[in-house]
Structure 1
Amino acid sequence: MDLEVLKHSARWLEDGHRALLVTVVKTWGSSPRPEGAMLAVRDDGHVMGSVSGGCIEDDLIDRVRQRGIEQTKPEAVKYGISAEEAHRFGLPCGGTIQLVLEPLTAASGIAELCAAVESGKLVARTLDMATGAAHLEPAQATDGVLFDEARLLTIHGPRYRMLVIGAGQLSRYLCSIAVGLDYQVTVCDPRVEYTDEWDVPGTTIVRTMPDDTVMDMKLDERCAVIALTHDPKLDDLALMEALKTPAFYVGALGSRRNNAARRERLKEFDLSDAELARLHGPVGIYIGSRTPPEIAVSILAEVTAAKNGVSLPELLQVEGAKAAREIAGTGEVCGV
């Protein structure tokens, strides 16, 4: 979404329009959008992106349509300071949101920022509130928005990476959704009969062996690894290396029986009990999924929970839910 906001902003400037870039820099209480969320408003009221549930957008659009983009320098504004304003602007629980309104110019460097992000770079953009000029520099793999009234620093680019083992049908659905979730997706499959037909936009395909790929990628705590081939010769190679890394999620497709056998095999690769305990398998949450698109949603729901630090109850996990069904002898588990 952020990239689309930036790309539209750059295009509007190129076409001779004025544009206002709006960035969430701080929130208090509940807020519909996180810090760093962006909205672009064109001088005729067209918009791209979101900074709230809609009411703040409406106010900003009305302001631009009534008065145009008058300002020449960035300014900070707050919405929802009072309970009445919080209700008016759709901020729940009396929340407050602070925004930076930035009139874009050539000095904003939006086209350069778009080019850097589209090439897969992680970039820090620092905006000078006094002049409106911005400069770019390489960033570390970290989230964060820093605003001290004098400058605004934002991070742009693929902050999370995902390695998918296998280029089969399920991988196509999973990777398409993962790209939309802002992952930098790499698909590893040495089998040419699969890779020759791979054409999912926004992903990178590699034909190296999975263990080599894991080591080459130097996985960190912002990485997820998902093995989907059903072939132990490929999946196990990736898992035995991935479980030794700080990756926040490592999972493998397969039945409960296959995953139990996989864990036994992985013990032969000198993995510790703590490392083996990190393996998610059967992968995904239990939603009764049967088709590849449904299985992809199930897997990415579990990945998202892990990414956000949410511990899922056992009944939502595939193994726990199916075991409970067998014990109960029915087709439902507490409504799941």
Structure 2
Amino acid sequence: MDSIDLEVLKTSAAWIAAGHKAELVTVMKTWGSSPRPIGATLAICDDGTVVGSVSGGCIEDDLIARVRDHGITRDKPEVVSYGITADEAHRFGLPCGGTIELALEPLGAHSRIAELLDMLEQRRLVERRLNLDTGAVTLAPAVAGNILERVGNELVTQHGPRWRLLIIGAGQLSRFLAQIATAMEYHVTVCDPREEYRQGWHVDNVQLVHAMPDDLVLEMKLDHRSAVVALTHDPKLDDLALMEALKSDAFYVGAIGSRLNNTKRRERLLQFDVTPEQMDRLHGPIGLYIGSKTPAEIAISILAEMTAVKNGVPSSMQVNHAAAPQPPSDNGSTCMVR
């Protein structure tokens, strides 16, 4: 997940620009069971409008009611807790008596939300420090690490640019993959130099590029928040792009194909200047084993594997297609093991 939801930041900036009062609510700490993780955010406007979530609905209702009854009156941040007693846990719907600690931050020009968004557009990793006594905010370059921590009287949050997904090939499967990835807040680019595949291909908020995939991989300067998925089945398009992607910092590089085709692909790439260590980063046959058969199910399988890799799930806890039991009827000609 992003350290702080992009939609929350963008909506907050729009409210500030329009002259509204608003508050940013951030989950600082949880005890026991909690429906939302540390770093989850919510923004609330002076008219009671809410974007984001910190509890799945129960605490949001209380925050909205307070704003509608009393308005937004804070001029400095405040740290509050919900669910400390059994009665409160029952009242706010926190499971198993869980407790959640929130930072409530009144927003304004001093919050530097618009400046933070500009830095994220430049694909910079940013550390935001909020002084919990005064509300003063500082922004600085960050080194990848904790999403959130409290240091003395400062709440330190880390904000990264949007995760990016480059899909090679504008086919039916890429359409489903792009739609789901967009809903997961990836910035999705689809690349296909073949005009016959690009005609009629469209997904809202997805950029369709006419270029050679390997050239685009180099142009995009893939970083640790980038993923590449090759779906064309055409070695002339997939192989060169995969070769460049495997040399990059992309957190995930995968290609569709059967076990047999995946073996042949690896043999071809090793004949170029791809090292065995780089080759070990290639995911193929692509996706986690979920018994997928339809393009939509295969897209879910791919994104499940991407998510597991992004979140640091050990490979020993994943069952990918390469490790799944092979049905007797599979002669190696199918796209994936199901």
Q: Does 1:19 align with 2:22?
A: yes
In structure 2, distance between residues paired with 1:238 and 1:143: 32
Change (3 A) 1:258 1:46: same
Q: Does 1:326 align with 2:328?
A: yes
AA partner of residue 11 (structure 1): A
1:333 — aligned with what?
Answer: none
1:209 — aligned with what?
Answer: 212
Q: Does 1:235 align with 2:238?
A: yes
Shift of 1:312: 5.8
Change (3 A) 1:284 1:37: same
Is the contact made by 1:314 and 1:320 (CA closer than 8 Å) also made in structure 2?
no
Name which of 264, 269, 272 aligns with 1:269. Answer: 272
Q: After the TM superposition, which of the residue ranges 241-250 and 66-75 deviates more from structure 2? A: 241-250
Shift of 1:207: 4.2
Name which of 286, 290, 307 aligns with 1:287. Answer: 290
Name which of 76, 79, 100 aligns with 2:79. Answer: 76
Shift of 1:249: 1.9
Shift of 1:231: 0.7
Report percent identity of matched pairs: 62
Name which of 61, 66, 70 aligns with 2:69. Answer: 66
AA partner of residue 91 (structure 1): L
AA partner of residue 266 (structure 1): L
- 1:14-45: CA deviation from partner (whole Å, max 9, x where unpaired): 44432221011233444322222111122232
Q: CA RMSD in A?
A: 3.2
Residue segments in structure 2 that go unaligned for 5+ positions in a row: 331-337
Q: Does 1:106 align with 2:109?
A: yes
AA partner of residue 247 (structure 2): K
Name which of 176, 182, 187 aligns with 1:184. Answer: 187
AA partner of residue 36 (structure 1): G
- 1:119-166: CA deviation from partner (whole Å, max 9, x where unpaired): 655443332333324344454555622323533332334253323222
Name which of 15, 33, 36 aligns with 1:33. Answer: 36
Shift of 1:263: 1.9
Name which of 42, 46, 57 aligns with 2:45. Answer: 42
In structure 1, distance between residues paired with 2:147 and 2:230: 30
Shift of 1:299: 0.8
Residue segments in structure 1 that go unaligned for 5+ positions in a row: 329-335
Count of matched residue pairs:
328
Name which of 142, 147, 150 aligns with 1:144. Answer: 147
Name which of 154, 159, 162 aligns with 1:156. Answer: 159
TM-score (norm 2): 0.82
1:165 — aligned with what?
Answer: 168
Change (3 A) 1:317 1:87: same
- 1:44-78: CA deviation from partner (whole Å, max 9, x where unpaired): 32211101132221222222233222211111122
AA partner of residue 46 (structure 1): T
